[in-house]
Amino acid sequence: MKKQLFFAVFILLSLTLLFQNISADEGMYPISEIDKLDLQAKGLEISPSEIYDPEGLSLIYAIVQVGATGSFVSPEGLIITNHHVAYSSVQAASTKEKDYIKHGFLARNRFEEIPAKGRTARITESYKDVSAEVLNAVKVGMDYAQMTKAVEKKIKEIVAEAEKRNPGKRAEVAEMFRGKTYVLFLYTYLKDIRLVYVPPRSVGEFGGDVDNWMWPRHTGDFSFLRAYVAPDGTPAEYSPENIPFRPKRYLKVDPEGVNEGDFVFLLGYPGRTYRHRTSHFWAFEEEVRMPWVVDWYAWQIDVMEKIGNDDREIALKHLSRIKGLSNTLKNYRGKLKGMNRLDLVNRKRREEEALQRFIGEDTARQAKYKDILEQIGQIFEERRGQAEYELILEYLRRSVNMVNFGYTVYEAAVELQKDDLERESAYMDRNFPRTKERLLMTLKNYYEPTDRKIFREILRRASRLPEKYHIPALDRIIKKDDPERAFDGFIEKAYSSTDLHLESVLEGALKMSLPELKKMKDPFIELAEALYPTYQKLKEAQKARRGALGHLHGQLIDVKKQFLQKEFIPDANRTLRLTFGRIRGYKPADAVCYRPITTLDGVIEKTTGQEPFDTPSQLLELFKTKDYGHFSHPDLKSVPVCILYDADTTGGNSGSPVLNARGELVGVNFDRAWEATINDYAWNESYSRSIAVDIRYVLWVTQKFGNVAYLLEEMDVLNKL
């Protein structure tokens, strides 16, 4: 069946022409491009200025970034997003006695709403092209590392000046086309976000990893949050005196939902796509980086699941991490299978061969662009040689909590000695409070036996590196005569003699100078000091690589535009984008046709009584009595659960509102179909499909199952029923 599926997709993709990736998949439009689209000819019934108008109160003011995407759905700061987006905050608030992951969370009034720990929200206010200002920082004679540093410093200066001119706002500069165009975004930045209603895991995560990235789906992947501000209306940290934020615009909810063939559009903050990258990048991802990460994530998941099997309190500490790793793991496996079966790297190579022939047809082009692709290839060839060395260093800090704590503390002491604009971004005055908050959030879920096992495995993998890539600080631990015994001895001594896992100690260490840290004689701070030169050397090499690739990609974009004789939109980069399409099924294989709307009947069909298909008894009873209220589909005779559409999305679009032709909320995006896991590299209208929870299921669960009718009243839904 799977062979047929991918063969069918391969045939569909083969029908496209050279560079089809650039022309056909341009579906994530920057807000600056909206007025260039003839959306009304596509099916939009409102004016495009209703979506974005720099002089008016358009829909973009209802769109908020809360880790991924969310939307304001009431004048009282109520936000709807995905269950999986809110998941880490729910987990952070959960205990063995109050297991909000398992049982859900419900605030029956404002006083019962609790902080969504680690959660902030930002709203796009404006944008401005600052490409010339950024690129003017690059001077003749600079090497690539110096170019990268000059660009980074100029961006920091632009951001600092923008925030000075706009007190209380948050500024960011986004690279749109690599090494070529830069845009300054100004955001309202809200810091007090609270949990309002989160359905239990058996609804919000129904199907679990089994159904993840698959269609048909029957998952109630939604949650409600609320944003608060100080009594004077300014953004503020959590305080009981804070009041609900009043957005400039909020989305109207259409409880009638959508039907097959209806026009829809999405606004949101898609993560990163790589469609304008070269075959060298794609091949590196397919052959080197993604397989390594898949193996490493699978190993960690197995360890954490086994350790938490018999103790719910330990399992709760692991849940959010496992969920994140599992999501990426399955996504990467889908990408790898799709890239291999569709032969995407070789297709990209053929596109580049056509581009190279175009370059060779003109003497001036040849002089300027002849060696671009070859130079990019050389950079990736060098990167391949040291890939595992870099990955081990990256995941030594990312995966081993105690190494992360020690290194962050040490690096903070180094960076805080510098002028603010000279520091690494995480340690600048504007960012350091959040850096500390994230570190302390990680500490909440720290479990020493798990950390020991992960650290030991990283050491074992580091011990297998070729001699030229040995890491000096780890070589002191890895004794060649008996490495296994050395691992165990160091780990036992280090973990038994550190206090850095204590919140008061970690918080205190983040305030210390280097001499003060050295007096602590903490083994993980000492390890950080030993690792620091290696990380600094790697950082310099990566800056040089980024500078070189940025320069080359800027030229590549220029010549591709000449070749295609058209403009094309930049890859997604976590900035506000619009995408549109229709409610539409697809045919993944011969004689297989997927319809675009699933229903409550499918939830019942999948229910086994065992996780992850353990539908709550109350929901089963509602189905048995056909208590659908106003949310039954007239033709399907059941409550719609999920919808499928051909709009172009990627990671970060989780939580994006699915809006009908009138700009009303009809769904909340949360996933893509399995065949669309390769969307980051290539998109095709025949098989790229995205998935949302239908607004009718959201409202039905909220009213009938959650008994939270006041939220429907707040969203002005009851008056429409």
The model's pLDDT over 96-151, given as tens digits with 9 standing for 90+, comes to 999 999 999 999 999 999 999 999 999 999 999 999 999 999 999 999 999 999 99
**Residue 468: which residues within 8 A CB-CB, separation 6 or more?**
none
- Report, as an integer, the average pLDDT of 495-505: 97
Q: What would the DSSP string read from start to end of 106-163? A: E-SSGGG-EE-TT--EEEEEEEEE-HHHHHTT--TT--HHHHHHHHHHHHHHHHHHHH
Selection from 396, 590, 427 nearest residue 3 by Cα: 590
What average pLDDT does the structure give for the chain? 94
> What are the tens digits of pLDDT across the range 411-445?
999 999 999 999 999 999 999 999 999 999 999 99
How far apart are the C-alpha atoms of 127 and 173, rounded to whole Å?
A: 9
Among 58, 71, 638, 654, the one annotated catalytic? 654
**CB under 8 A, 24+ apart: contacts of 53-60:** 54/126, 57/248, 57/249, 58/249, 59/249, 59/251, 59/267, 59/659, 59/663, 60/31, 60/124, 60/249, 60/267, 60/576
- Cα(134)–Cα(636) distance, integer angstroms: 55
**Could you tell me the pLDDT band of residue 14, with boundaries at 50, 70 and 90?**
very low
- pTM (2 decimals)? 0.93
The helix/strand/coil state of 354 is: helix
In terms of phi and psi (left: phi > 0; alpha: psi -120 to 50; beta: otherwise), the region of 14 is alpha
Residues 352 and 552 sit within 8 Å (Cβ to Cβ) = no
pLDDT digits (tens, 9 = 90+) for 203-247: 999 999 999 999 999 999 999 999 999 999 999 999 999 999 999
* pLDDT given at position 15: 29
Rg (alpha carbons) of the chain, rounded to whole number: 26
Structure tokens, 399: 């995966």
Average pLDDT over residues 694-705: 98
Burial (CB count <10 Å: 0-12, 13-18, 19+), residue 309 = exposed
654 as an active site residue: the answer is: yes
Q: Which token pair is 621?
A: 């009873």
Active-site residue flag, 84: yes
Angstrom CA distances, 318 to 313, 445, 537, 547, stand at 9, 7, 33, 38
Distance CA 270, CA 276 (A): 16
| Tens-digit pLDDT profile for residues 543-583 | 999 999 999 999 999 999 999 998 888 999 999 999 999 99
User: Where are the strands (E) in 555-661, listed by range?
Assistant: 577-582, 586-589, 592-594, 597-599, 640-645, 657-659
CA–CA distance, 670 with 218 (Å, rounded to integer):
12
C-alpha torsion sign, points 668, 674, 679, 683? negative
| 52 vs 29: CA distance, rounded Å | 12
Task: Using CA atoms of 654, 659, 664, 670 in order, give the dihedral in degrees to the nearest 10.
Answer: -20
Q: Which of 25, 192, 221, 646 is catalytic?
A: 221
pLDDT grade for 9, boundaries at 50, 70 and 90: very low
**In sequence order, what are the residues at sequence separation of 6 or more whose Cβ sits closer than 8 angstroms to the Cβ of residue 439?**
404, 405, 408, 506, 510
- Out of 58, 71, 83, 84, the active site residue is 84
Residue 567 tokens, joined? 């403009």
> Would you state the structure tokens that stand for residue 81, as one six-digit string?
């997003």
